[in-house]
Structure 1
Amino acid sequence: MKGFELIYNNQIVTASIERGVISIILSKIDDAIRVDFVGLDSNTNQHLTWFKSTVNESDKIAIKVIDVNQVAEVIEFKPNSRDSFENKLIEYKGLKKYLEKEGLIKKEE
């Protein structure tokens, strides 16, 4: 299966997902620079983290597209909050209001 290999200094991390999204993100907030190797598994609806670190000035980072035989251990799992009950209720209320405004459903009294 196609995936990615992140080489951070001398550390190698590989990841692939059968169905979902993988991202390698470099971010800078103020003077702090970070690298995050993350994904969203659509089969389990979970956010996955394989690697995260603060980046220093002399660090070396390389990314390769590879055929992945072995995936690195996931260091963090988080459920996709988009599917939480509270978010579904907010989405429902917004859609209901829109449909009432468009006259597609009757407004409840």
Structure 2
Amino acid sequence: MIGFELTVRGEKVTGALRDGVFSIILTKMANKDLDTIELDFTGLNTADTENYETLAWYQSSLAIGDEIIIKVKEIQDVSPPIKVGKHNLENRNAQRVEEYYRLKRELEEKGLI
């Protein structure tokens, strides 16, 4: 399947999904308290529409001079993820409804609605 091969500091990591989305995101954050460059290689496996997984194949800070190489290629062996999160759509929707009613009560108590 088509995926990405990421090479950072000589370490190769591959990622791909048959169903879902995967991304490599390079982020520079800076303010008075923070100055960092982060690299994330993550995915969302949607093969099961009721239960899905968030995956992280690579997450690290980068420094000046670090070189990254990204190749789009046929991936035979996907690297094992360093993190996996399990999510159930039914539970997620129930949590959203619960949060809606909690916020509604809060606004009603304040007389805003």
Give the percent of matched residue pairs that are identical in Structure 1 and Structure 2.
33
1:53 equivalenced with 2:57 (yes/no): no
Task: State how far apart, in whole Å, the 2-side matches of 1:61 and 1:74 are.
Answer: 19
Alignment of 1:1-109 (within 5 A): 1-30=1-30, 31-44=35-48, 45-80=52-87, 83=89, 85=91, 87-89=92-94, 90=96
- The alignment of Structure 1 onto Structure 2 pairs a total of residues equal to 92
Deviation at 1:49, TM superposition (A): 0.4
Q: State the superposition RMSD in angstroms.
A: 2.1
For residues 80 and 26 of structure 1, do their structure 2 counterparts lie closer, same or farther at Cα, with a shift above 3 Å needed? Answer: farther
Give the alignment's TM-score, normalised by structure 1. 0.75
Unaligned runs of 5+ residues in structure 2 are 101-113
Residue type at the aligned position of 2:46: S
Give 5+ residue unaligned stretches, structure 1: 95-109
